[in-house]
Chains A and B, each alone.
Chain A
Amino acid sequence: MKLKLITAVTAAMMVAAPAMAELTFSALSYRTGPYAANGIPFADGYQDYFTLMNERDGGIGGERINLVECETAYNTEKGVECYEATKGQGVLVYQPLSTGITYQLIPKATADNIPMHTMGYGRTSAKNGNTFSHIFNYPANYWDGASIAIKHILDVNNGDISGKKIALVYHNSAYGKEPIRTLEELAKKHGYELTLLAVDHPGQEQKSQWLQIRRERPDYVLMWGWGVMNSVAIQEAVNIRYPMENFIGIWWSGSENDVLPAGEGANGYKALTFHNLGSDYPLYADLQQYVKDAGKAAGAGDQMGTVLYNRGLYAAMLAVEAAKTAQEIHGTAQITPAMMRDGMEALEITEEKMAAIGLPNFGPTFSVSCENHGGDGFGAVKQWDAAAGEWSLITDFFQSDQDVLNPLIAEDSAAYAAENNIAARCE
Chain B
Amino acid sequence: MFYREAGDFKTSYVDDNQTFPIKFDRYRYYVVLFIAFAIIPFLLNDYWVNAVFMPFLIYAIAAIGLNILVGYCGQVSLGTGGFMAVGAYSCYKFMTGVDIWWGGELLFRLPEFNIFFSVLMGGVMTALVGLLFGLPSLRIKGFYLAVATLAAQFFLVWLFNRVSWFYNYSASGQISAPERTLLGVAISGPSAPAWAMYLFCLVFLAVSAIIARNLTRGSFGRKWMAIRDMDIAAEIIGVDPLRAKLSAFGVSSFFVGISGALFFAVYLGAVEVGEVFGIQKSFLVLFMVIIGGLGSIFGSFAGAAFLVLLPVFLKNFLVGGLGWPTDLAAHLEFMIVGALIIIFLIAEPHGLAQLWRVTKEKLRLWPFPH
Is there an interface contact between B317 and A11, defined as CB atoms closer than 8 Å? yes
Is there an interface contact between A16 and B47, defined as CB atoms closer than 8 Å? yes
Cβ contact of B312, chosen from A71, A81, A123, cutoff 8 A: A81
Is there an interface contact between B321 and A107, defined as CB atoms closer than 8 Å? no
**Chain B contacts for A32, CB-based, 8 A:** 327, 330-331
Is there an interface contact between B173 and A69, defined as CB atoms closer than 8 Å? no
Is there an interface contact between B317 and A111, defined as CB atoms closer than 8 Å? no
Is there an interface contact between A14 and B320, defined as CB atoms closer than 8 Å? yes
Is there an interface contact between A173 and B317, defined as CB atoms closer than 8 Å? no
A-contact bits for B26-48, CB 8 A (1 contact / 0 none): 00000000000000000001111
A103, chain B: closest CB distance, angstroms: 5
A302 is an interface residue with CB less than 8 A from chain B: no
Is there an interface contact between B329 and A104, defined as CB atoms closer than 8 Å? no
A316, chain B: closest CB distance, angstroms: 17
- Give the interface segment out of A2-10, A226-234, A236-244, A380-388: A2-10
Measured CA separation A110–B189 after assembly (Å): 11
Nearest A residue to B301, CB-CB: A1
B-contact bits for A320-353, CB 8 A (1 contact / 0 none): 0000000000000000000000000000000000
Total of A-B residue pairs, C-beta within 8 Å: 128
**Chain A contacts for B363, CB-based, 8 A:** none
Is there an interface contact between B326 and A177, defined as CB atoms closer than 8 Å? no
- Give the interface segment out of A82-90, A211-219, A286-294: A82-90
Is there an interface contact between A420 and B330, defined as CB atoms closer than 8 Å? no
Measured CA separation A100–B174 after assembly (Å): 9
Is there an interface contact between A419 and B327, defined as CB atoms closer than 8 Å? no
* A103-B270, A173-B275 as given contacts; A29 in contact with B326, CB under 8 Å: yes
B305 is an interface residue with CB less than 8 A from chain A: yes
Is there an interface contact between A111 and B190, defined as CB atoms closer than 8 Å? yes
B78, chain A: closest CB distance, angstroms: 17
B-contact bits for A387-427, CB 8 A (1 contact / 0 none): 00000000000000000000000001000000110000000
A304 is an interface residue with CB less than 8 A from chain B: no
Is there an interface contact between A108 and B321, defined as CB atoms closer than 8 Å? no
Measured CA separation A200–B52 after assembly (Å): 29
B172 is an interface residue with CB less than 8 A from chain A: yes
B179 is an interface residue with CB less than 8 A from chain A: yes
B302 is an interface residue with CB less than 8 A from chain A: yes
A77 is an interface residue with CB less than 8 A from chain B: yes
Is there an interface contact between A177 and B171, defined as CB atoms closer than 8 Å? yes
Measured CA separation A103–B172 after assembly (Å): 9
Which bracket fits the contact residues of B? 35 or more
Measured CA separation A278–B189 after assembly (Å): 43
Cβ contact of B309, chosen from A8, A29, A88, cutoff 8 A: A8
Is there an interface contact between B51 and A84, defined as CB atoms closer than 8 Å? yes
Is there an interface contact between B269 and A100, defined as CB atoms closer than 8 Å? no
Is there an interface contact between A73 and B320, defined as CB atoms closer than 8 Å? no
B185, chain A: closest CB distance, angstroms: 15
B276 is an interface residue with CB less than 8 A from chain A: yes
A75 is an interface residue with CB less than 8 A from chain B: yes
Is there an interface contact between A12 and B173, defined as CB atoms closer than 8 Å? no
Which bracket fits the contact residues of A? 35 or more
Is there an interface contact between A88 and B47, defined as CB atoms closer than 8 Å? yes
A233, chain B: closest CB distance, angstroms: 18
Is there an interface contact between A4 and B309, defined as CB atoms closer than 8 Å? yes
B50 is an interface residue with CB less than 8 A from chain A: yes
Is there an interface contact between B46 and A84, defined as CB atoms closer than 8 Å? yes
* A80-B268, A174-B174 as given contacts; A200 in contact with B274, CB under 8 Å: yes
**Chain A contacts for B270, CB-based, 8 A:** 76, 103-104
Is there an interface contact between B326 and A104, defined as CB atoms closer than 8 Å? no
Is there an interface contact between B320 and A71, defined as CB atoms closer than 8 Å? no
Measured CA separation A423–B222 after assembly (Å): 58
B272 is an interface residue with CB less than 8 A from chain A: yes
A355 is an interface residue with CB less than 8 A from chain B: no
B316 is an interface residue with CB less than 8 A from chain A: yes
B181 is an interface residue with CB less than 8 A from chain A: no
Nearest B residue to A83, CB-CB: B50
**Chain A contacts for B317, CB-based, 8 A:** 7, 11
A201 is an interface residue with CB less than 8 A from chain B: yes
Is there an interface contact between B269 and A84, defined as CB atoms closer than 8 Å? no
A207 is an interface residue with CB less than 8 A from chain B: no
Is there an interface contact between A177 and B313, defined as CB atoms closer than 8 Å? no
* A32-B330, A76-B272, A81-B50 as given contacts; A180 in contact with B278, CB under 8 Å: no
Measured CA separation A172–B162 after assembly (Å): 10
5 contacts between A and B (CB under 8 A): A1-B306, A4-B310, A11-B321, A76-B268, A107-B189
| A interface residues with partner B (beta carbon < 8 Å) | 1, 4-5, 7-8, 11-12, 14-16, 29, 31-32, 36, 40, 69-71, 73, 75-77, 80-81, 84-85, 87-88, 99-100, 103-104, 107-108, 110-112, 123, 172-174, 177-178, 180-181, 198, 200-201, 299, 412, 419-420
| B interface residues with partner A (beta carbon < 8 Å) | 45-48, 50-52, 55, 161, 171-174, 176, 178-179, 189-191, 268-270, 272, 274-276, 278, 302, 305-306, 309-310, 312-313, 315-317, 319-321, 325-327, 329-331
